[in-house]
Chain A
Amino acid sequence: MAASTVEGPVAHHFNNMGQQLATVRFGMWLFLVTEVLFFGGVFCAYTAYRIWYPKDFEAGSAALNVGIASVNTFLLLASSLTITLAIRAAYVGNQGGLVRNLLLTIVLGSAFLGLKAREYYLDYEEGLMPGTAKVMQKQKVEQNGKEVEIEVAVPKFDIALEEALKREHFKGEAHKDYDPSRVMLFFMFYYSMTGLHVLHMIIGIGLLTWQLILARSGFFAHKSRYVYIEVMSLYWHFVDMVWMFLLPLLYLCGPHTSSQAIEQFKMAIGLSHGGH
């Protein structure tokens, strides 16, 4: 059995490098198992309600900014590429390449987060926040054959949703196809799922930054330590993978068009101003 091809220090409780590398890698895979089930739980809840309320979920999805999401998809994919390049750089001992690629990964990840933050802000501005807040609204009702105007308390969310759907030219016949309180359920999932994803990205970027610092200090001069970049990449790829499912389940679930996506993205980054 050939000894491992890479050199580097072996921790006291391991017998050899092969054992150490395999153990580290295995540990990360085990961790990913828990991550799969962690996300699996929310996805399962999502699916259950999607089965019950398909129309409401589509309506909710229609109100989301699919432009940002589309661009973000490619950012994440690119970051997955750069981190793979970083492993290779560490593996062959190319310190400059390692630093460069780690940095790129961090930049791409941060760009994702930046756009995501923008998206949250837009949602917030549109009032698409689940909650019990209500506003008073004038409504015309029939009373004794006469039309009178009265003030009623309407959930803020309902109004915001209606306006957002109008803006997105949602074709589903409003008020018939969806029930705002169930769309709110969709939004709960939207925020929880993307929130969890964002949380994972933030942790990932933190770890990457740590590795970047290590890389600059020459920690990865021992080639065997490429394995730490590798396990980092496993985590990062996994986060990417979660996004691959968030995209169709949250954003592409409702009716959208590509022109709409482009328009939304332009608007989000300030190149155009909403209205059509």
Chain B
Amino acid sequence: MSHNPHAAVHEEESVHHEATPDAKSFVTFFVLAGLALLALFVGFSDLGSTKVVASLAVSTVQACVLAYFFMDLRSADKLTWLVAAASIFWTFLMFLFILTDFLTRHLGVL
């Protein structure tokens, strides 16, 4: 946020915004496609219980690339980052508490 209270609040963002040139988009696409292949490779391999971790890791990287380049978080302002982070954080909180219950319910008491 602006520290100059005289300034109109708007105007500052979106000035540097520019649509991604085609070449860059293609690069992003190939990276994503490569990651997708990797995800399939991991998925078709016989890693046992680490498989789920590995393939989720690949998916997470993929999602990050997608968000950063395709969804233009790269050139987004702080507020947008905050919004994106908040959504992830709150989802995390939901997972944290609910899964805690599922993982600890059977445990005895103190």
Contact = CB atoms under 8 A, between A and B. Distances in A.
Q: Do A and B come from one complex?
A: yes
Interface residues of A, number: 64
Contacts, number: 166
Contacts of A251: 43
A51 interface: yes
B15 A18 contact: yes
Nearest to B19: A91
B102 A48 contact: yes
A85 B29 CA distance: 11
A4 B15 contact: yes
A80 B70 contact: yes
Interface string A51-93: 1100000000000001000100110011011001101101110
Given A5-B15, A88-B25, A247-B43, A241 B66 contact: yes
25 contacts: A1-B15, A16-B11, A19-B10, A22-B10, A29-B84, A32-B84, A33-B84, A40-B90, A40-B91, A51-B102, A77-B36, A92-B19, A230-B19, A237-B70, A238-B71, A241-B67, A247-B59, A248-B56, A249-B56, A252-B40, A252-B42, A253-B52, A258-B44, A261-B40, A261-B44
Interface of A: 1-2, 4-5, 14-16, 18-19, 21-23, 25-26, 29-30, 32-33, 36-37, 40-41, 43-44, 47-48, 51-52, 66, 70, 73-74, 77-78, 80-81, 84-85, 87-88, 90-92, 226, 230, 233-234, 237-238, 240-241, 244-245, 247-249, 251-253, 255-258, 261
